[in-house]
Amino acid sequence: MAKKLITVTVNGNKIEQAVEPRTLLIHFLRENLNLTGAHIGCDTSHCGACTVDIDGQSVKSCTHLAVQCDGSEVVTVEGLADKGVLHAVQDAFYKEHGLQCGFCTPGMLVRAYRLLQDNVNPSEEQIRAGMAGNLCRCTGYQNIVKAVRHAAKTLQTAKQAVAA
């Protein structure tokens, strides 16, 4: 089957590759680009371990074709830290003990990263609803909620500091 040439920006790097149309984005990221942070936890689009950010929206990359990303901007967990400094969501999951085995964490972090841009000050209910596409087997979610709230406060404080 003929491959298609795509140009996609991943974590700020422009990438040009030929892909088979049936290649799922998650496999493209993990196998072609070696970005193995995003994980695969199911084959029915439920778990959200594969969540990445495509053109400003959280998407389950197991249910998206790499060929569809031609011209898109993709952010994965590897793109969250800035020059070695953790993003607020990463720091908050660490401080609030929002992970144990770490398998859901990349998807959780990338989802939280987008959630906090769409809603800068979410309530607990909004966090739980906003993270409902991501399953976790370890934490019981409680500390993940705390981590997202923690990150929201950090981001707001940083924004106020810039404004002042």
Partner 1 sequence: MIPSVFEYHAPSTVSEALSLLGQYGDGAKLLAGGHSLLPMMKLRFAEPAHLIDLNKIRELSGIREEGGVIKIGAMTSETALIDSALLQKKIPLLVEAASLIADPQVRNRGTIGGDITHGDPGNDHPAITIALDAKFILVGPKGERTVAAGDFFLGTYMTDLQPEEILKEIHIKPFAPKTGSAYCKLKRKTGDFATAAAAVVLQMSGDVVSSARITLTNVGPIALHAQAAEQALVGKPLTDASIAAAAAAAMAICDPAEDLRGNIEYKTAMAGEMTKRAIRLAATRCK
Give least dist CB 95 to partner 1, A: 24
State the Cα angle at 10 between 93 and 25, rounded to 5°: 90
With contact defined as beta carbons under 8 Å apart, do 9 and 73 qualify?
A: yes
Q: Alpha-carbon Rg of the chain, whole angstroms?
A: 16
Give least dist CB 45 to partner 1, A: 5
* Sole window of 29-37, 40-48, 76-84, 93-101 interacting with partner 1 (rule: CB under 8 A): 40-48
Is the Cβ of residue 37 or residue 48 nearer to partner 1 in the bound state?
A: 48
Q: Give dist(CA 37, CA 90) in Å, integer.
A: 13
DSSP 100-137: SS-SSHHHHHHHHHHHHHH-SS--HHHHHHHTTT---S
* Residue 136 binding partner 1, by CB under 8 A: no
Q: Give dist(CA 90, CA 110) in Å, integer.
A: 9
Is the Cβ of residue 120 or residue 129 nearer to partner 1 in the bound state?
A: 129
Give the DSSP H or E segment for 53: strand 51-54
Give least dist CB 161 to partner 1, A: 29
Is the Cβ of residue 29 or residue 115 nearer to partner 1 in the bound state?
A: 115
In the list 79, 98, 106, 130, the residue contacting partner 1 (rule: CB under 8 A) is 130
Within residues 42-71, the interface with partner 1 by CB under 8 A covers: 43-46, 48, 51, 57-60, 62-65, 67-68, 70
- 140-161 per-residue burial string, b: 16 or more CB within 10 A, e: under 16: ebebbbbbbbbbbebbeeeeee
Is the Cβ of residue 131 or residue 155 nearer to partner 1 in the bound state?
A: 131
Which residues make up the interface to partner 1 (CB under 8 A)? 1-2, 4, 20-22, 24, 40, 43-46, 48, 51, 57-60, 62-65, 67-68, 70, 111, 115, 129-133
